[in-house]
Amino acid sequence: MINKQKILIVDDDENIAELISLYLTKECYECMIVGDGKEALKAVKEFDPDLVLLDLMLPGMDGYQVCREVRSSSNLPIIMMSAKGEVFDKVLGLELGADDYIIKPFDPKEMIARIKAVLRRYQPAPAQTDKPKQNSKYVEYPDLSINLTNYSVEYKGHTVDMPPKELELLYFLASSPNQVFTREQLLDHIWGYEYIGDTRTVDVHIKRLREKLGENEAWNISTVWGIGYKFEIRN
């Protein structure tokens, strides 16, 4: 029997939560509903979901706080839901580590497509003890190794925790050193055609990568003003 992927729905509006659960159940997901932030954190540990649908406006602890708490110890995929459609709210959610942001009201088909897209990109393979094979999805530079096969990044001998999209963005840039990509190209390659977002999403993820990796004498994630970004090899 194939294990169903589990979705944790965090929304204090019971009618909306039940409706979301109904659509997801039809898509063969196993769902659990909680109505506040503290219960969400408890459910993350006990239910062990594959993805969290997280509403922002929650009693007690809001969605931003829940996202921050989850991200402090886990790369669990998170999709935020909110009636707030301002750029500030989207950017804040992404900066805290959300993988996507859906504006209410949303079409059920769009919601399901976004869930599938996020889950598709978060498929870490079992840990490997041997060195990566030559044909594996692996790139290496001084102080840095990126393995897309098991979704791992090592920097200066230490493992760096990254959500799937951050890692995929880093791998994509590092796989084509010194090549300039526009924000639109990066959105297309990393988030896909089904992603309905703006190019600020790319800027937020680049900022987070730079914060985690810092400066390096051999390479750098460089901004090409007016165009986009590149993984620059320094001579």
List, for residues 144-203, the tens digit of each pLDDT value.
999 988 889 999 889 999 888 889 999 999 988 888 888 888 888 887 755 555 678 888
| Mean pLDDT score, 46-75 | 90
pLDDT over 90 percentage in the chain: 39
**Cβ count within 10 A of residue 219:** 19
Of the pLDDT bands very low, low, confident and very high (cuts 50, 70, 90), residue 136 is: low
Q: Over the chain, what is the mean pLDDT?
A: 84
Distance of alpha carbon 56 from alpha carbon 81, whole angstroms:
6
Return the pLDDT at 127. 44
- The model's pTM: 0.59
Q: Which helix (H) or strand (E) holds 38?
A: helix 37-46
Instruction: Say yes or no to pLDDT of 16 above 50.
Output: yes
Query: What tokens does 34 get?
Result: 């909680």
Of the pLDDT bands very low, low, confident and very high (cuts 50, 70, 90), residue 138 is: confident
Is CATH 1.10.10.10 the right assignment for the domain spanning 138-233? Answer: yes
- Tell me the Cα Rg of the chain: 18
Instruction: Say yes or no to pLDDT of 51 above 90.
Output: yes
Instruction: Say yes or no to pLDDT of 128 above 60.
Output: no
Cβ distance 53 to 31 under 8 Å?
no
The class (CATH top level) of 6-121 is: alpha beta
Edge-first strand listing for the sheet containing 51-55: 30-34, 6-10, 51-55, 78-82, 100-103
Return the pLDDT at 66. 92
Which residue blocks in 105-229 are alpha helix, DSSP H? 108-121, 164-174, 183-186, 200-213
Return the pLDDT at 133. 41
φ, ψ for residue 150 (rounded to 5)?
-115, 15
Of the pLDDT bands very low, low, confident and very high (cuts 50, 70, 90), residue 116 is: confident
Return the pLDDT at 174. 92
Which residue blocks in 72-199 are alpha helix, DSSP H? 87-95, 108-121, 164-174, 183-186
CATH 3.40.50.2300 in the chain, residues?
6-121
| Mean pLDDT score, 207-234 | 89
Model pLDDT for residues 84-105, shown as the tens digit of each residue: 777 777 788 888 888 888 888 8
Instruction: Say yes or no to pLDDT of 114 above 80.
Output: yes
Instruction: Say yes or no to pLDDT of 125 above 50.
Output: no
Return the pLDDT at 170. 94
CATH 1.10.10.10 in the chain, residues?
138-233
Query: What tokens does 109 get?
Result: 């088909």
Return the pLDDT at 195. 55
